[in-house]
């Protein structure tokens, strides 16, 4: 792989699995694949690598000729709690920065006297 400077390329695809029939229902899984991949070749050979994450999104269900409807597999409560936790961490970081700044300013003011 002499002379090659491979770069990771972004990958983001929605995958729809094969439909399966369970009793009178047709079920089709849907997932999201995200990640990065790279390929390289040179005088000594070729290589490839990938870092992927597969996340189930939904299951599409239909019965006979009825309109198919999706059933979401994402956990909205988990996403909301993560948002609340990140917001709390952000506020804590801002407060910590404010406290440290106030202490530094106070020390600077006392040294000037």
* pLDDT for res 1: 43
pTM > 0.85? no
User: For the residues of the chain, what is the DSSP string, one character each?
Assistant: -TT-----EEEEEEEE---EEETTEEEEEEEEEEEEEEEEEETTEEEEEEEEEEEEEEEEEEETTSPPEEEE-S-HHHHHHHHHHHHHHHHHHHHHHHHHHHHHHHHHHHHH-
Q: What is the average pLDDT across 95-102?
A: 94
Q: What pLDDT was estimated at residue 12?
A: 94
Does 34 have pLDDT greater than 90? yes
Q: Comparing C-alpha atoms, which of 49, 17, 56 is closest to residue 33?
A: 56
């Amino acid at each position: 792989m002499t002379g090659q400077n491979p770069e990771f390329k972004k990958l983001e695809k929605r995958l729809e699995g094969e439909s399966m029939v369970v009793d009178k229902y047709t079920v089709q899984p849907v997932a999201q694949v995200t990640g990065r991949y790279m390929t390289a070749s040179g005088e000594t050979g070729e290589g490839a690598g990938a870092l992927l994450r597969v996340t189930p999104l939904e299951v599409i269900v239909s019965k006979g000729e009825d309109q198919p409807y999706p059933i979401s597999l994402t956990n909205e409560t988990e996403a909301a709690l993560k948002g609340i936790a990140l917001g709390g961490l952000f506020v804590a970081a801002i407060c910590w920065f404010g406290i440290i700044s106030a202490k530094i300013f106070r020390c600077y003011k006392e040294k000037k006297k």
